[in-house]
Structure 1
């Protein structure tokens, strides 16, 4: 339990038992499974956690008072890559064919001409603002300050 990243082969070697037996003990008897860790941007400090709790409590007070007004004022955003040309995946372009029919033909697609990072802001009524990041620019606090006019 001290090293949860150890591989079953390592346990088998240490205990001098087969890999199959190690696997059986781990999965069937101890009911353990190996999972990938969930990715998070950063682990919050206790102060940061408390700040989030305080902010959410203030939002809950406003929501309980007037939900539609809260939603009207609430703005959120996200960033995403927009490809200049997005082609269908193999799965998306698959078609049902009858017995004896030839395989459907699809032209070979070319790589996208490029992509651009896009910041999208929206509220309860829809999209408010879209910004396309210039080449060689980085999304950081200066970028957001410039976008928000600070």
Structure 2
């Protein structure tokens, strides 16, 4: 991680240098030294930054997000030549909105492999963790077919 990347992470997290230092267990001056590349940023700090950002994106109110799902089981995707598009994308206000939409769609037999992405295309929720969140935030449960 470079000093510029640390600064971009800090801004994405909406942290001051002091707040970033508090989260990472270092002083504000250490954050400043890393950002100006006076000292090298340890690999553990880069990993901690990634984890903190991931945790922030998993908050229920984080958004907007994009829900992507398949209308056929993905293992069958090789036989798609003569079928309509199998992947669908829906923009959601936040994670809760996506969880509720998944619960609605899960009542349809043509709903498989949902995944929630951030604006950069990085996965926020998928698989069994996503199924648990949907159960928590909605009345219906997500079916656990084909990987979910």
After TM superposition, the score normalised by the length of structure 1 is 0.23
After TM superposition, the score normalised by the length of structure 2 is 0.23
Q: Which has the higher contact order (CA 8 A, sep 6+)?
A: 2
Structure exhibiting the larger radius of gyration computed from Cα positions: 1
Choose between structure 1 and 2: higher helix proportion.
Answer: 2
